[in-house]
Amino acid sequence: MQNLIGDTTMGLLSRSLDAAFTRQEVIANNIANHNTPGFKKSRVAFEEYLQQALGGDGKKLPLWKTNPRHFGAYDSIDAVKAENKKITQ
């Protein structure tokens, strides 16, 4: 069994939380200094850096269907079918 601390997913989650925390700090700083003369707001450009890291072609990440019952990114509402099952206990 792999150690959860060293796991890639845990590392990614940790970095994601760090990015969210940094964004909140920047927003709080902008709000706190809104009326300060000469203050210039800051922003966190996470989405732009992520897009650059992904190749910068402007395309969104594709959704993967790991189960045929999953909805696709571009499925229309017509593709959704109700399934009626009688539940017995």
Q: Is the pLDDT of residue 84 over 90?
A: no
The residue ranking higher by pLDDT, 86 or 35, is: 35
Domain boundaries, the chain: 8-79
pLDDT of residue 54: 64
What is the band of 1 on the pLDDT scale with cuts at 50, 70, 90?
Answer: very low
pLDDT tens digit string along 15-72?
788 888 988 999 999 999 999 999 999 988 877 777 676 666 656 666 667 777 776 6
Name the nearest CA neighbour of 26 among 11, 44, 12. 44
* Cα 71 to chain centroid, rounded: 18
Name the nearest CA neighbour of 80 among 71, 4, 7, 17. 71
pTM of the model: 0.50
